[in-house]
């Protein structure tokens, strides 16, 4: 059987909200992962079983249907596992992330098909077609990657590469030229450079969720007490932006999701069931779901009715909890009515905006505040800033992890060739983005930085 020994993972269904989503794995880890989710039940080939998807750290992510396929009867000719989860992009992402932590790696474009072909799961007449599929997918991916690499990502990643190569060259010089007249070896410089590299990589990695946010929109939850005017607010916000709005049912049909543009930001707005007053108790499943939505939101807009002010202590407990949340905006609705009063004593630390969802007063101001909030609560890149894709982020994370291993050894003065081995792994992680780096580049740096040779 053809195999590079890796288990690959990818979402098999398109990104976005849907009733169900499928995550697909292929490779040697599938059996172990199936067995873990099956618990005490036997894992039977091609027999679906239902179970809790618990992440490696024990957190319940979703309840899923698992279908294991042994190599003999699978698409790729390797052991496979299909996981059907709820079609929420966040859940899909969490499941994929968890599988990466369990040792899988993201599939390359067309890789499932490629493996299927190489393992003889397709006959010769299909070969040309497969080649077309792969070349088309690769071409698209390459084209995208090339555009990205020509631009800001390329510049940023190449800057990291240069720095890493300098450290590698320094370390290697002292390993390969012990008899040359080099200045005394010091690990301080390389350690400082590696720490700086980690920081730079971290900043780049932090832009990866934002690039997903750009694609999917910033999740914005409208919450509030019943009849505070949440739906009117959603209509007021959506009003002029009908062109890009698409109403999609939520996975549970307990909430409505709309997309709209605010400034240059795409918002995915979720209207939730009301948070009822009830001595701080969660009264029904709807409220639980609303709270769950709030938890995973980038922005929370809490709508209050300014005509029926509550003393702060009477605000429901679950709403009070929001007050420390980043990205919280308090909207005081119905400001056009005569009995409207200012509610600045409720959640005084959050930003307050007084509006009338009905006649549109203050809605423009609210848009401005939303834009500002996105920009301050998420690490929003500037125009020339770099956004890395999830694949790049994974490579950068792997680079960072290997640098951490190298740093540990350098600080505890372990033999230099061990840290060098980690640095080489860090370099090959970067090669996943920039392509093969010729070792001559390291040697060039060695010979230009040190007077070597007898």
Contact mark string toward other proteins, 261..300, x via CB under 8 A: ----------------------------------------
Distance CA 45, CA 74 (A): 10
According to DSSP, the β-strands at 20-26 and 8-11 are: antiparallel
* CB burial of residue 266 (10 Å; 0-12, 13-18, 19+): middle
- DSSP summary character for residue 338: T
Q: Give the per-residue contact string, 158-197, with other proteins (x = CB under 8 A; - = no).
A: --------------x--xxxxxxx----------------
Window of 39-47, 64-72, 105-113, 238-246 that interacts with other proteins by CB under 8 A: 105-113
Interaction of residue 382 with other proteins, rule CB under 8 A: no
In the complex, what is the shortest distance from the CB of residue 170 to other proteins, in angstroms, rounded to a whole number?
12
Sign for the CA dihedral angle at 57, 61, 66, 72 comes to negative
Helix H or strand E encompassing 293: helix 285-295
Note whether 417 binds other proteins by CB under 8 A: yes
Three-class SS state of 84: strand
Q: Which residues pair with 8 in a beta bridge?
A: 26, 105
Cα–Cα dist 42/170, whole Å: 54
Each residue 45-74 as x (binds other proteins by CB under 8 A) or -, in order, gives ------------------------------
Residue pair 120/359 in contact (Cβ under 8 Å)? The answer is no
CB of 63 or CB of 146, closer to other proteins = 146
CB 293 within 8 A of CB 313: no
Q: Given the rule CB under 8 A, which of 56-64, 196-204, 237-245, 414-422 is the region that contacts other proteins?
A: 414-422
User: Is there binding between residue 208 and other proteins (CB under 8 A)?
Assistant: no
Q: From the CB of 68, what's the least distance to other proteins, in Å?
A: 24
Nearer to other proteins, 349 or 438 (CB): 438
Six-digit token string for 229: 């005017």
Residue from 114, 219, 268, 367 binding other proteins (CB under 8 A): 114
206 touches other proteins (CB under 8 A): no
Query: Which is it for strands 218-224 and 105-106: parallel, antiparallel or unpaired?
Result: unpaired
Give least dist CB 236 to other proteins, A: 48
**Among 65-73, 153-161, 344-352, 417-425, the segment contacting other proteins (CB under 8 A):** 417-425
User: Among residues 142 and 244, whose Cβ is nearest to other proteins?
Assistant: 142
CA torsion sign, 364 to 370 to 372 to 374? Answer: negative
> Beta strand pairing status for 248-249 and 80-86?
unpaired
Question: φ, ψ for residue 453 (rounded to 5)?
Answer: 125, 145
**Residue 430 binds other proteins (CB under 8 A):** no
- 341 and 308 Cβ atoms separated by less than 8 Å: no
As measured in angstroms, the least distance from the Cβ of 134 to other proteins is 6
Chain contacts with other proteins (rule: CB under 8 A): 2-6, 108-111, 114, 117-118, 124, 127-128, 130-132, 134-136, 138-139, 141-142, 172, 175-181, 414-418, 420-421, 424-425, 432, 435-439, 442-444, 447, 451-454
């Amino acid at each position: 059987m053809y195999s590079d020994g890796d288990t690959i993972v990818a979402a098999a269904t398109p990104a976005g909200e849907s009733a169900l989503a499928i995550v697909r794995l292929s490779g040697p880890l599938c059996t172990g992962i199936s067995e873990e989710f099956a618990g005490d039940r036997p894992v039977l080939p091609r027999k679906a079983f239902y179970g809790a998807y618990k992440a490696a750290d024990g957190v319940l992510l979703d309840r899923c249907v698992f279908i294991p396929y042994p190599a003999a009867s699978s698409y790729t000719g390797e052991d496979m596992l299909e996981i059907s989860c709820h079609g929420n992009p966040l859940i899909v992402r969490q499941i994929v992330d968890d599988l990466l932590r369990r040792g899988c790696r993201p599939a390359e474009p067309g890789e499932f098909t490629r493996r299927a072909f190489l393992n003889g799961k397709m006959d010769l007449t299909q070969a040309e077609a497969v080649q077309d599929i792969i070349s088309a997918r690769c071409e698209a991916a390459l084209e995208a990657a090339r555009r990205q690499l020509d631009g800001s990502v390329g510049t940023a990643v190449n800057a990291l590469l240069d720095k890493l190569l300098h450290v590698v060259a320094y370390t290697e010089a002292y390993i390969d030229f012990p008899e040359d007249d080099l200045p005394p070896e010091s690990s301080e410089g390389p350690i400082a450079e590696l720490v700086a590299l980690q920081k730079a990589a971290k900043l780049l990695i932090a832009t990866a969720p934002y690039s997903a946010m750009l694609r999917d929109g910033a999740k914005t939850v409208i919450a509030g007490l019943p009849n505070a005017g949440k739906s009117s607010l959603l209509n007021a916000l959506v009003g002029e932006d009908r062109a890009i709005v698409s109403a999609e049912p939520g996975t549970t049909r307990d909430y409505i999701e709309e997309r709209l543009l605010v400034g240059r930001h795409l918002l995915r707005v979720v209207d939730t069931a009301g948070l009822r007053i009830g001595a701080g108790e969660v009264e029904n499943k709807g409220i639980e779901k609303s709270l769950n939505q709030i938890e995973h939101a980038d922005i929370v807009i809490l709508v209050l009715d300014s005509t029926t002010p509550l003393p702060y202590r009477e605000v429901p407990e679950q709403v009070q909890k929001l007050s420390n949340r980043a990205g919280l905006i308090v909207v005081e609705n119905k400001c056009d009515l005569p009995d409207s009063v200012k509610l600045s004593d409720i959640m005084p630390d959050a930003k307050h905006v007084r509006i009338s969802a009905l006649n549109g007063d203050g809605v423009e101001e609210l848009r401005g505040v939303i834009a500002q909030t996105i920009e301050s609560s998420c690490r929003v890149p500037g125009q020339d800033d770099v956004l890395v894709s999830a694949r790049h982020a994974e490579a950068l994370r792997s680079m960072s992890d290997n640098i951490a291993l190298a740093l540990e050894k350098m600080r505890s003065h372990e033999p230099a060739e061990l840290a060098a081995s980690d640095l080489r792994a860090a370099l090959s992680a970067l090669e996943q983005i920039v392509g093969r780096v010729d070792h001559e580049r390291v040697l060039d740096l060695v010979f230009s930085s040190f007077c070597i040779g007898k």
